[in-house]
Amino acid sequence: MKTHFASFTDLEDLEQAPCGTWLGEASELSGDWAMVDCRLCKKRRERIIAAAADEERFIVEQMGDMAAFMRTQG
């Protein structure tokens, strides 16, 4: 099987790689592009990186909102 890119660490419930490929029991995941041999992941690399960056920005924004809320409550 191919090694797909995965930018996140919680892989337990992951059924589909960021490239859109459904994962099987023999599928591998890596956060290191040097280990990735899925041609679809490599082709979509820029989009996958951009999507991961957007998700990270959203998480940081959400954490900031939560911190601001907690400051007003305490």
How many structural domains comprise the chain? Answer: 1
Contact between 21 and 38 (Cβ < 8 Å): yes
Residue 28, CA atoms < 13 Å, CB-side half-sphere:
11
Neighbours of 6 (CB within 10 A): 21
* Phi, psi of 19, deg, nearest 5: -80, -10
pLDDT at residue number 14: 83
Range of the domain at 34: 3-73
CA–CA dist 1, 3 (Å, integer): 7
pLDDT at residue number 46: 96
- Under the banding of pLDDT at 50, 70 and 90, the label for residue 9 is low
Q: pTM here?
A: 0.75
- Under the banding of pLDDT at 50, 70 and 90, the label for residue 65 is very high
The predicted-structure confidence for 11-54, as pLDDT tens digits, reads as follows: 677 889 999 999 988 889 998 999 999 999 999 999 999 998 99
